[in-house]
Amino acid sequence: MKERPMRFVLWLLAVVVIFLFVQKGHRISQSGEPVAFLPGGSTQTGAVTIRIEGDLVKPGVYQFVYNEHAGTVINMTVPFLSDYSCLKGVPLNNVYSGDVLRLKLHNSKGPEITRLSMSVAEKMLLGILLDPNKITAEEWQQLPGIGPSLARRIIVDRQINGEFATIEDLERVPGIGAAKVKKLERFFKCS
């Protein structure tokens, strides 16, 4: 009879611990501040997802409202940098999903920002839709069902016949049929 109450106490303890982890992990960061982006969460419609890295207080992946100015985005991670006009490299215009902003503050020439692009694999993990007209042969191979020879055929077709207006245009590439397009369409923005 003593085994049953002990199981109940252990079960109750496990429920309490799980509840505390769920509450702590969903709404606030480790430092106790609200989070700007929750990994594993769904991408909001109309939101922009970027990665900010470099000499920052809070590097990482951020999601924010479309048409946000890069200076505002950088201010989320470098709140003490008030003069964005001194940044060199990329003009501080709108940022787009899949962009990587690299900020270098400790430079002899002053602060510098560089705009890069996330890898296709990172975009797929974050749910950022891809543009079939900007993917290299190596990046095509990261998609399910695309090997090296098919990736080369896609690139050659794009060079000869022009850009893909819709994802269904991939069917013009030898070796890609409607079934393969159906499997790939969730990764692309033009359909």
Domain ranges of the chain: 47-120, 129-187
How far apart CA 26 and CA 48 sit, in angstroms, is 20
Comparison of pLDDT for 180 and 13, the residue scoring more: 180
Mean of pLDDT values over 162-169? 92
Comparison of pLDDT for 108 and 173, the residue scoring more: 173
> Model pTM?
0.64
CATH number belonging to the domain at 129-187, selected among 3.40.50.720, 3.90.1150.10, 3.40.50.2300, 1.10.150.320: 1.10.150.320
Question: What integer pLDDT is reported at residue 113 of this predicted model?
Answer: 78
How far apart CA 158 and CA 34 sit, in angstroms, is 44
Quote the tokens at residue 62: 């951020």
Quote the tokens at residue 54: 């470099």
Per the prediction, the chain carries an average pLDDT of 76
* Cβ–Cβ under 8 Å, residues 74 and 103: yes
Q: Which of 62-66, 94-98, 121-125, 165-169 has the lowest mean pLDDT?
A: 62-66
Task: Indicate whether 38 pLDDT > 70.
Answer: no
Task: Indicate whether 163 pLDDT > 80.
Answer: yes
Secondary structure element (H or E) that encloses residue 71, with its range: helix 70-77
